[in-house]
Chains A and B, each alone.
Chain A
């Protein structure tokens, strides 16, 4: 009788641990996904910002080149870009 009670208690505790393990597994997976999503999003955004910075430098260099070598083509391109602003 005593043995049966002990086994019942152990089985109950085992069940509790299994349920807790399942809950923690789900939480760990969601935490891992959130972490990776943040990491990926930040990396992508940083790469995009770097590209935009490069574009801004390209526009500036083009403007400088246009000052040194005046050309209606360059003026037209820059004017078109400023009329519809590409970057703020």
Chain B
């Protein structure tokens, strides 16, 4: 079997010129890609630095507040507190004076009484249609 001879339609000089041109292109593209990836890496490094710096800056204060809240809530009897609030609201419904003086100040104003006298219906009869 004979190996088929590959014949280039271009002369040898043109081929080497094209290969050289392609090599230059690959080199240029690699260089561009390198610059882009370096820029991206630098940007991400900057973001990393900023976020860690910000987190470190607020950490002491944030932990102080979080710890204070944890310490305070650890000693809270939530059911007793809920009961107390319910009883206060119920007491306020029975004693409007208390609701006005104390509960309203804290946004616990009881809903308006539902057994209030109904608004009297309009007594004037509708004008007869002519």
Which chain A residues have a beta carbon within 8 Å of chain B's beta carbons? 3, 6-7, 10-11, 13-14, 17-18, 20-21, 24-25, 27-28, 31-32, 34-35, 38-39, 41-42, 44-46, 48-49, 52, 54-55, 57-59, 61-62, 65, 69, 71, 73-74, 77, 80-81, 84-88
Partner of B41, one of A24, A46, A86: A24
Q: Mark B91-122, 1 if CB is under 8 A from A, else 0.
A: 10001011001100110100000000000000
Majority SS at the chain A contact face? helix
How many residues on B have C-beta within 8 angstroms of the other chain's C-beta atoms? 50
Given contact pairs A77-B87, A85-B77, A35 touches B97 in the complex (Cβ within 8 A): no
Total A-B contacts with CB atoms under 8 angstroms apart: 140
Give A48 to B59 CA distance when docked, in angstroms.
18
Taken together as a complex, chains A and B put the C-alpha atoms of A34 and B76 apart, in Å, by 28
Choice from A10, A42, A57, A61 contacting B31 with Cβ under 8 Å: A10
